[in-house]
Structure 1
């Protein structure tokens, strides 16, 4: 079966095999339906988890004990409920955006080993992910970009970008303006239409499908 990215909490994960990276997408928590992504370097077996959102038991079954890194995309509670359990079981290095790192530690009791920002990278074996800070949904949200040398770019967006719009800013017009500006310049302004993106909830998307609607999103204010 080919990868679709359509998963649901309690269901099976979906697996995508790139030439150098295996991507496994798993949804947890029926109410919030958070997406968690396990990235594995095919050359070395190194593993990285994007968002230990919930259901530590299920995540540890997925990752195994050799998990090297957990990246938390942002400080909202639903994206790090299993962080402590996963880190205690695996000893994984923790990574988060600088402005959100302290809040994540306060909420979880887990120290962030690597607070990251613009121009930083995160490695999983021989694969390098570029950190893209995107403020607005939270001050320290981060996206992760992988430029597949044998295909198109891949982007993990947390709650910054979804099919159909940017993330919630909870009625804060200033935060919305910041978020859509940064999404437009740092994501749509630098990445091609065939970029496949993986959000923190729901289905995946492609930038080319969403690009024609940027002005519409800006006009509606969410």
Structure 2
């Protein structure tokens, strides 16, 4: 069956096979329904997890015996790192997060952030490279991860900065919204093609081309 990106808590993971990378998406926690993404380099077998959001008992079987090299936490909000301590304890994975959010993640989880990253930095998963794009607004140190598939379109993991239908919540802070919509428009829509497939922290996936016509609408409504 082809990948759809439609997953539900308690349901099966959805798996996307690229030439060099396998992407496995799973939803965890009934209340928050967070998405977690396990990336596996096909050549080396190395694995990376994006957001150990909850339910280590769901995530660890996905990791399996192949081990886990890195866990990237997209931002500091509690619902994106509830299983971080448990997964790190079992896998000894290197923990990666955006520099401005790193201290808060450690304070909330007790887990040291080993690799603090910012705009333009690289995060490796085996022989595959993920580019870090800092998108400020939902939190100060939110990051997106971009994989440029050499045999297809780009793949973008957006955390809670971009969803189908709008940008992430800025909790009524007009300045934070202005920063977020500017970063999303400039750094994501301004540099990446319409066929870029993006994977958010909650809910279904989308493509930039499907959302691009609504940017002015999002800016005007203020959320």
TM range (shorter): over 0.9
RMSD over aligned Cα atoms: 0.5
Corresponding residue of 2:89: 88
Q: Secondary structure at the match of 2:7?
A: coil
Corresponding residue of 2:13: 13
Q: Secondary structure at the match of 1:35?
A: strand
Aligned-partner Cα distance in 2 for 1:105–1:64: 26
Q: Secondary structure at the match of 1:201?
A: coil
Deviation at 1:22, TM superposition (A): 0.1
Corresponding residue of 1:212: 213
> What whole-Å deviation, never above 9, does each CA across 1:97-134 have from its counterpart, x for those lacking one?
00000000000000000000012100000000000000
In the TM superposition, what are the counterparts of 1:128-207 in structure 2 within 5 Å?
A: 128-207=129-208
- What TM-score do the two structures reach when normalised by structure 2? 0.99
Q: Secondary structure at the match of 2:57?
A: helix
Aligned-partner Cα distance in 2 for 1:199–1:206: 11
Q: How many residues align?
A: 222
> What whole-Å deviation, never above 9, does each CA across 1:38-66 have from its counterpart, x for those lacking one?
00000010000000000011100111251
Aligned-partner Cα distance in 1 for 2:64–2:106: 24
Deviates more, 1:169-178 or 1:63-72: 63-72
Pairing 1:115–2:116 present: yes
- What TM-score do the two structures reach when normalised by structure 1? 0.99
Aligned-partner Cα distance in 2 for 1:141–1:122: 15
Structure 2 unmatched runs, 5+: none
Q: Secondary structure at the match of 1:22?
A: strand
Deviation at 1:181, TM superposition (A): 0.2
Corresponding residue of 2:26: 26
Deviation at 1:147, TM superposition (A): 0.4
In the TM superposition, what are the counterparts of 1:92-103 in structure 2 within 5 Å?
A: 92-103=93-104
Deviation at 1:96, TM superposition (A): 0.1
Aligned-partner Cα distance in 1 for 2:64–2:2: 24
Structure 1 unmatched runs, 5+: none
Aligned-partner Cα distance in 2 for 1:194–1:73: 22
